[in-house]
Amino acid sequence: MRSPAKRDDMLVHEREPYNAEPPRGALTDALTPIEAFYGRNHGPFPDVDRTAWRLRVRGMVTRPLELSLDDLRSRFTRHEEIATLQCAGNRRAGLMAVHDIPGQHPWGPGATSTARWAGARLADVLDAAGLDPGVTDIAFDAPDVAPEADPPQGFGGSIPAAKATAAEVLLVWEMNGEPLPAAHGAPVRVVVPGHIGARSVKWVETITARDRPSDNFFQTSAYRLLPADLTDPAPGDGIALGAVALNSEILCPDDGDDLIAGPVDVTGYAFVGDDRTVVRVDVSVDGGRTWAQADLDDQVSRWAWRTWHTTVDLPPGPATITARAWDSSADLQPEHPASVWNPKGYVNNAWPVVTVTGHDR
Ligand SMILES: Nc1nc2c(c(=O)[nH]1)N[C@H]1C(S)=C(S)[C@@H](COP(=O)(O)O)O[C@H]1N2
Ligand SMILES: [Mo]
């Protein structure tokens, strides 16, 4: 497949495999247009023939299934869910500024986007297959082979069975009302709202019911939070990433902007996974000495980010704008990226900062 149809001003970290994020300003709406939606790929796009494509459901099930796209669409009820995808590497650049992370892309704040997804509930498909009582995890496998996967294997991962059978997890064939684009996993991808993007496996071919997490490289070795001093990790080391940690970003103004001193509109997003919700966002223009609460925009879906806005009084001269989000468990984002630095550069959820200059009119 050629390069996906994206905005000209995407920040391309890598052309092949395609890894790109939109500029901050492209993410201010509740829903992200497909041409701005970030792309994160570990290997080249696979060639999938949609008529020959079959979804296999196997493992610890009573009735193994083999479903065509037509089977999936006709046998199961179509459901929609507006959900944010967020890569575990989102905002990694902030960790790399603390200490280099070789071999990883320096993602800014744009490795996250929100779409309206439609497809079948994974729960309904698992129900048709009949899960054995001992099932604890549901694994997904795709055909695209990443150079980093050791040994060579397709992309894959798993989620706990309790999440897999929740109503929000979909097998998706539509994105923002259009057929799912090839670059985002056509004919069918998994969307796991509230969990790291890596579990939303694109071009999914096999679903396996298991009594332990997936053995796939991207479950056992990648997407794990390692202690900062671990230099030679083995598979299974560190914390497997699942639900998305509380995070936020400033989308407007952009870092480095020259502005007129005085009232300045500030907007951003805040997001947290699974059973927590964003309940408060504070903004500071004096480096965190004093804070004012931002207005939270209406949340378009339980599984979408919360966009927010406020107006600050920007002083003349160089200034920093800082934000920090709170969630329904009274958790607050950590202040410094240094305190969350980890060898693979995941989950930078430190306070976002943009540096701007206020000019006299
Ligand atoms: N088959 C497959 N699925 C995949 C990936 C991949 O490389 N291959 N990348 C994952 C990661 S790390 C993320 S963050 C999301 C990105 O989805 P997008 O490219 O549609 O934005 O897809 C996930 N699903
Ligand atoms: Mo990711």
* Residue 201 confidence (pLDDT): 99
For residue 197, the CA-to-ligand 2 centroid distance in Å is 5
Residues lining ligand 1, judged by CB closer than 6 Å?
37-42, 85, 87, 142, 144, 155, 184, 197-198, 200-203
Instruction: Give the residue, by CA position, lying nearest to ligand 1 atom 21.
Output: 39
The preferred substitution site among 27, 40, 169 for testing ligand 1, maximizing ligand atoms within 8 Å of CB, is 40
The pLDDT tens digits of the residues spanning 20-71 come to 999 999 999 999 999 999 999 999 999 999 999 999 999 999 999 999 999 9
For residue 314, the CA-to-ligand 1 centroid distance in Å is 39
Domains, the chain, ranges and CATH?
11-240 (3.90.420.10), 247-359 (2.60.40.650)
* Residue 167 confidence (pLDDT): 98
For residue 352, the CA-to-ligand 2 centroid distance in Å is 20
Distance, in Å, from the CA atom of 276 to the CA atom of 273, rounded to the nearest integer, reads: 6
| Atom in ligand 1 nearest the alpha carbon of residue 196 | 14
Instruction: Give the residue, by CA position, lying nearest to ligand 1 atom 10.
Output: 198
For residue 79, the CA-to-ligand 1 centroid distance in Å is 21
Nearest ligand to the C-alpha atom of residue 172: 1
Nearest ligand to the C-alpha atom of residue 345: 2
For residue 76, the CA-to-ligand 2 centroid distance in Å is 28
Give the residue ranges of the chain where pLDDT is below 50: none
* Residue 231 confidence (pLDDT): 84
**Ion ligand 2: residue ranges with CB closer than 5 A:** 40, 87, 197-198
Nearest ligand to the C-alpha atom of residue 157: 1
Q: C-alpha 203: how far from its chain's center?
A: 17
Total-model pTM: 0.98
| Atom in ligand 1 nearest the alpha carbon of residue 43 | 7
Instruction: Give the residue, by CA position, lying nearest to ligand 1 atom 12.
Output: 198
The pLDDT tens digits of the residues spanning 69-124 come to 999 999 999 999 999 999 999 999 999 999 999 999 999 999 999 999 999 999 99
* Residue 2 confidence (pLDDT): 62
* Residue 135 confidence (pLDDT): 98
Instruction: Give the residue, by CA position, lying nearest to ligand 1 atom 19.
Output: 39
